[in-house]
């Protein structure tokens, strides 16, 4: 089946036209996907090889979100705003965007989506973590847990709170959670080489290149 045929089927199903693969195992796919018109991002693919917990960031608390906490809905909306702002301002550099912008961007999570993540957290298949300071939640991330392994996803820090080890601490907590559930394989895709160095502090090493293809925005 060609890339164009897969994209046509994705459109029929109403799902995003997207592909993910490991470049080193299927190198010929890169040119084919690019020729179809999709944008392809090459990201360092990293695996947790050994626990290397970073020092706890001074003055910050790092924790998993508890689906049964009365404040779960509020915290989930706040961490979602942190993630949106973090990914809208990629990189590791500090910047002016901080708690005020986070609070302005936070909106209630639709009930169905919130229920999905509550159920997933209770089942142990999808957990969110946050780092919070006196300014509230300033970093976040999540982990998807499957029988064969777990993937750390969506790690983001408000630009105003970067360079404090918060992203590394969130990543470490998520990786330890998965390993405590019996996952021998914990992996992630870093946004860049600079971001990959953050994950190295949590015991991750680069083993390849993840290709992430999506429609041009």
pLDDT tens across 67-106, in order?
Answer: 999 999 999 999 999 999 999 998 889 999 999 999 999 9
> Is 30 among the domain residues?
no
Give the pLDDT mean for 121-146.
Answer: 96
DSSP bridge pairs for 129: 64, 141
Angstrom distance (rounded) from CA 128 to CA 78: 12
131: tokens are 């780092």
Q: Calculate what percentage of the chain has a pLDDT beyond 90.
A: 81
Alpha-carbon distance values, 201 to 74, 130, 171, 175 (Å): 30, 18, 9, 12
CB 40 within 8 A of CB 189: no
> Is 131 among the domain residues?
yes
CA 194 distance to own-chain centroid:
16
CB 199 within 8 A of CB 168: yes
Please report, for the domain that includes residue 58, its CATH number.
Answer: 3.40.630.30
Total domain count, the chain: 1
> Is 5 among the domain residues?
no
> Is 101 among the domain residues?
yes
Put the strands of the sheet holding 136-146 in their side by side order. 18-22, 204-214, 39-48, 186-189, 149-157, 136-146, 126-133, 61-64
Tell the burial category of 199 from Cβ atoms under 10 Å away from its Cβ (0-12, 13-18, 19+). buried
Nearest to 7 by CA among 35, 26, 27, 41: 35
> Is 40 among the domain residues?
no
Regarding pTM above 0.75, the answer is yes
* Residue numbers of the domain that contains 121: 47-207
Of 138 and 199, the one with more pLDDT: 138
> Is 213 among the domain residues?
no
**pLDDT tier at 55 (50, 70, 90 boundaries)?**
low
* Phi, psi (deg, nearest 5) at residue 208: 180, -160
State the residue for tokens 């997207």: 18
The secondary structure of residue 206, as a DSSP letter, is E
> Is 41 among the domain residues?
no
127: tokens are 């957990």
Nearest to 139 by CA among 203, 78, 71: 78
pLDDT tens across 146-203, in order?
Answer: 988 999 999 999 999 999 989 989 999 999 999 998 998 999 999 889 889 888 888 8
Average pLDDT across the chain, whole number = 93
Return the pLDDT at 1. 67
> Is 38 among the domain residues?
no
């Amino acid at each position: 089946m060609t890339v164009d045929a897969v994209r046509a089927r994705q459109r029929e199903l109403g799902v995003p036209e997207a592909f993910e693969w490991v470049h080193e195992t299927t190198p010929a796919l890169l040119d084919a996907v690019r020729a179809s018109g999709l944008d392809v991002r090459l990201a360092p693919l990293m695996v947790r090889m050994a626990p290397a917990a970073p020092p706890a960031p001074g003055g910050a608390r790092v924790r998993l979100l508890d689906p049964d906490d009365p404040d779960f809905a509020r915290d989930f909306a706040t961490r979602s705003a942190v993630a949106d702002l973090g990914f809208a301002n990629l990189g590791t550099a500090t910047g002016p965007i901080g708690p005020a912008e986070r609070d302005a961007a936070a909106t209630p999570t639709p009930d169905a989506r919130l229920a999905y993540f509550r159920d997933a957290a209770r089942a142990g298949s999808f957990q969110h973590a946050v780092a919070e300071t006196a300014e509230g939640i300033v970093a976040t991330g999540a982990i998807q847990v499957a029988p064969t392994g777990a993937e750390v996803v969506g790690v983001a820090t408000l630009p105003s709170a970067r360079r404090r080890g918060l992203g590394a601490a969130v990543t470490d907590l998520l990786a330890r959670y998965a390993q405590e559930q019996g996952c021998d394989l914990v992996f992630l895709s870093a946004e860049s080489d600079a971001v990959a160095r953050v994950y190295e502090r949590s015991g991750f090493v680069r083993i390849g290149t993840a290709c992430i293809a999506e429609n041009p925005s």
